[in-house]
Structure 1
Amino acid sequence: MASVLKKQTFSKEQRQKRNYLIHWLYIRKEYDECLELIDDTLKKVDQLAEYPLFIKGLITRHQGKIHESLSLFQQAGQINPRNVETIKQISRSLFLLGRHKAASEVLDEAIRLGFTEDWEIWHNKGMCLSQLKRLEDAKDALMRANSIQRHDCTFIQLGQILTQEEKYQEAIDVYLEALEFSPENPELLTTVGLLYLRTGENFRAFDFLGNSLTHDPRNSKTILAAGSIIQDHSDMDVALVKYRVAAVQTPNSAQLWNNIGMCFFGKQRHVAAIACLKKALYLDPFEWIISYNLGLVHLHTEQYASAFHYFSSSINLKPDFPSSYMQLAIALSRLDDYDNACAAYEKAIEMDSDFLFHLNYAVMLVNNGQVDKAREQFDQFEALYAEADEETKNSDKDVGVMRSLLMNVLGRN
């Protein structure tokens, strides 16, 4: 009887005071004390207190107890089914559990209840639909969110979908629009820079990446991208200085160690290059480009068996990269495996019309006495070489030298 009287005397004013204290403890991140007060409050009111349940749901989710948080938000939702904040948190917990369809349906219910002008609902719906691979519907939801209220996270999510669809220019346009409202956002600046880098506009990419670094000079992602552009222009020492800063922030980045390794390779420091690339491979054994680069370094140092091993590994991870087959063919030819080298060249040529493939194939055929077949490959090389622009022709001096030698050997002068 005493406990019943205690529950009855727990007045509305007392609840409000407790809710205030719960809120105060929560924003101070004093979670243990907050949970004690919540549990005591819920015990006094037979678990029928919306706000304590809501805050407990937030804390348990922060602690990684997603299922428990979902149950708590659903309890709070039963007490007040029209509370849009609770509905959004139910959806969020479902999303984190990978139940994207259910999360989207909960948001649909919020929209049916009349909450049509809440940007967060449309943003979260866009994220759910993106995970469900309904990309057009996802883009519509995200654009609806932006029409209500612009947020950087919505622009970023929309840009990611467009990038996924390989609509790079549209993605750039979305990010540039976002930068009109957040011109100093390093993440947006870096993302635009990376997209320009992907589309081959290196100067514009470097401009955005440099701007990003002025706002966040220790952003490892930005440093890595800027360093790769510097590295592409053969300024290995400056690139290594950049990478040294990034290594402090992300010492276990496979991509970083891969780039450092290729810097050392460019400086002809092969032992250091192999050491860095092997560290990158240890950190990410399924990244095909690291195996490919290890193959290049071993091929350059005449370790042909090791080169064969790494090129084979790269092909297993990414079988649609034609240059891997050409490099594998070179390694095989150095190992005197003529038949398999021919097969690798044929595979590379089947996948892509690159004059280098035909040139190297012709060289191998000449070295093996197959002059007639070499002439066929050289003629195909000449046809493709004639179509290339001057920049491409002059990018590798060895091509011109080898072309002249083959012309003499094959009587093509």
Structure 2
Amino acid sequence: MKMKKRALSIENSTDGFTTGSLNWLLHARYVRGEHAQCLELADDLQKKHDNKHRYAHYIKGSVLADAGRLQEALERYHSCIRLYPQDPEPLKQVAKCLSRQQRFQLSHEAYIEADKLTKHPDPDIYCALAECSWNIGELERGVEWARSAVQAGGGERAASLLARLLLAADDVPGAMAAYDQALSSHACGADTLAAAGALRLRAGDPRGAFQLLGAALAQQPTQHAAALALAAMMLQHKDVDAALARLKAALTAHPTCVAAHANLGLALMAKKKYIAALTCLQRAAWAAPLSARAAHNLGVALLVCKRPASAFCRLATAAALQPFQPYTVLLIGIALERLGDSRADAAYSRAVALAGDDPLIRINMAGRHARAGRLAEAEDEAALTAELLQREERPDAQLTSSLATLMALLRDAGVELSRQPPEIPKDDDEPATEVAEDEHLAPDEV
């Protein structure tokens, strides 16, 4: 009889973590996703323990947090804290809910209190503190917390977070070193491999980037960031067919990806599938109406398709969003010139003012002067373009060829040239091609 009374007193203990408790059943039902039965059991345990069963409060808070009812979850976690203030786990969940509510300062303070209660370094707390510091604008402090997480054994999550914070602080070598450490120390997932590959590509290491991006796609074929980066590399190497395959795979995984639609449109333009290219670029512009790059790309495609009025509208939108982009302003001048608008000269002059050392803009300005009959000004611009090309170690072959053609036309018009264009460099990998002025558009595929 005494033994029965002792067992009953243990089961009715307000602690909720005794040998006779049903915490194991609460946990099992929660992890199996049986949330309705889990809540029923939690309510029954609260009735038996006078609403002082800590684990029932904790599990009920977790169920409510998973359902997005964050404020109710916070109340349950606070009940756990009132019953046993020395436990850091409910405080960590409070901080997590506050972070999901975008209340990063309060979340940061809650994580600090949880860190004071833990007996050993907790990499999860350090990672969360790094993210909160990033969100409240304390980037340097976030880097310190991320380093602490790496030292505490945070694994891939801590290393990749440190790399992203260093990249946000414009420390590209440090970010690359952090990714290298993560890749050498842990079996990283596709997201980390894709981010490291994209950073390698940005740093000018295409071989290393190709290996990392290929590994990311081998691990997760639907990793759209890796597919986009690989497609960009293939487009740079004129491998349009392979780039199209990668871009289609990226769109299969993420049909609303603006970058994938834009790059697919540019790849289709390279294949002379103009209507399909316009369709993709228009989707990108519709999906991101405040993207200057999407509007710029669509304006380029419309110019190629000999629709200068529509191109002007798109390019004007891009210039309004990003007014200091010289190539957008230059294309506006080309569109206005094709429309016969007198404002074309002002657009060309604005482009020169934004990037006076760019030989592409200078040679277009020279061509504008020549077409308008201002041969002396055209000769000056052509000479300046020749000087800019001579400063480069490897001048662009197409620009050099265009400059030579322009100077030959100026000579035929009776202009005495004081300077000669630089010699056209030989490039065995990319033979020069000439495009006829009245080339017919190729058949389209939609």
Aligned to 1:107: 111
Change (3 A) 1:115 1:104: farther
C-alpha separation between the residues in 2 aligned to 1:146 and 1:407? 65
Aligned to 2:396: 393
Tell me the number of residue pairs that the alignment of Structure 1 and Structure 2 aligns: 405
C-alpha separation between the residues in 1 aligned to 2:316 and 2:203? 29
Unaligned runs of 5+ residues in structure 1 are 1-6
Letter of the structure 2 residue corresponding to residue 174 of structure 1: A
Residue pairs, 1:257-272, within 5 angstroms: 257-272=261-276
C-alpha separation between the residues in 1 aligned to 2:118 and 2:374? 78
Contact preservation (8 Å) 1:184, 1:215: no
1:119 aligns with 2:123: yes
Change (3 A) 1:14 1:72: closer
Aligned to 1:311: 315
Letter of the structure 2 residue corresponding to residue 411 of structure 1: E
C-alpha separation between the residues in 2 aligned to 1:9 and 1:110? 29
Aligned to 1:411: 416
C-alpha separation between the residues in 1 aligned to 2:337 and 2:119? 68
C-alpha separation between the residues in 2 aligned to 1:113 and 1:14? 19
Aligned to 2:13: 12
Residue pairs, 1:73-112, within 5 angstroms: 73-112=77-116
Q: Return 133-142 or 185-194, whichever deviates more.
A: 185-194
Letter of the structure 2 residue corresponding to residue 177 of structure 1: Q
C-alpha separation between the residues in 1 aligned to 2:174 and 2:405? 42
Change (3 A) 1:48 1:358: same
Q: CA deviation at 1:197?
A: 2.1
Contact preservation (8 Å) 2:231, 2:244: yes
TM-score, normalising length: structure 2: 0.85
Letter of the structure 2 residue corresponding to residue 21 of structure 1: L
Q: CA deviation at 1:282?
A: 2.3
Change (3 A) 1:12 1:270: same
Change (3 A) 1:375 1:303: same
Contact preservation (8 Å) 1:125, 1:141: yes
Q: CA deviation at 1:211?
A: 2.1
TM-score, normalising length: structure 1: 0.91
Aligned to 1:3: none
1:203 aligns with 2:204: no
Letter of the structure 1 residue corresponding to residue 250 of structure 2: A
Instruction: Quote the sequence identity (%).
Output: 26
C-alpha separation between the residues in 2 aligned to 1:399 and 1:49? 82
Q: Deviations over 1:91-120 (max 9, x none)?
A: 111111111111111122233345461111
Give the SS at the match of 1:17.
Answer: coil
Residue pairs, 1:359-378, within 5 angstroms: 359-378=363-382
Contact preservation (8 Å) 1:363, 1:406: no
Unaligned runs of 5+ residues in structure 2 are 1-7, 421-446
Contact preservation (8 Å) 1:179, 1:185: no
1:343 aligns with 2:355: no
Question: Higher helix share goes to which structure?
Answer: 1
Q: Which of the numbers 297, 302, 319 marks the counterpart of 1:298?
A: 302
Q: Deviations over 1:174-207 (max 9, x none)?
A: 1111001224522222111111222333333222
Q: CA deviation at 1:294?
A: 0.9
Q: Which of the numbers 144, 150, 155 marks the counterpart of 2:148?
A: 144
Residue pairs, 1:64-75, within 5 angstroms: 64-75=68-79
Q: CA deviation at 1:8?
A: 8.5
Q: CA deviation at 1:305?
A: 0.6
C-alpha separation between the residues in 1 aligned to 2:205 and 2:351? 27
Contact preservation (8 Å) 2:123, 2:158: no
Letter of the structure 2 residue corresponding to residue 23 of structure 1: H
Q: CA deviation at 1:284?
A: 2.3
1:224 aligns with 2:228: yes
Aligned to 2:164: 160
Give the SS at the match of 2:235.
Answer: helix
Letter of the structure 2 residue corresponding to residue 281 of structure 1: A
Letter of the structure 1 residue corresponding to residue 12 of structure 2: S
Aligned to 2:327: 323
Change (3 A) 1:407 1:167: farther
C-alpha separation between the residues in 2 aligned to 1:107 and 1:221? 32
1:186 aligns with 2:187: no
Q: CA deviation at 1:24?
A: 1.1
Q: CA deviation at 1:396?
A: 5.1
C-alpha separation between the residues in 2 aligned to 1:195 and 1:144? 23
C-alpha separation between the residues in 2 aligned to 1:396 and 1:383? 13
Q: Return 300-309 or 213-222, whichever deviates more.
A: 213-222
C-alpha separation between the residues in 1 aligned to 2:298 and 2:149? 46
Q: CA deviation at 1:406?
A: 5.6
C-alpha separation between the residues in 2 aligned to 1:398 and 1:327? 21
Aligned to 1:379: 383
Give the SS at the match of 1:133.
Answer: coil
Q: Which of the numbers 175, 178, 194 marks the counterpart of 1:174?
A: 178
Contact preservation (8 Å) 1:84, 1:115: no
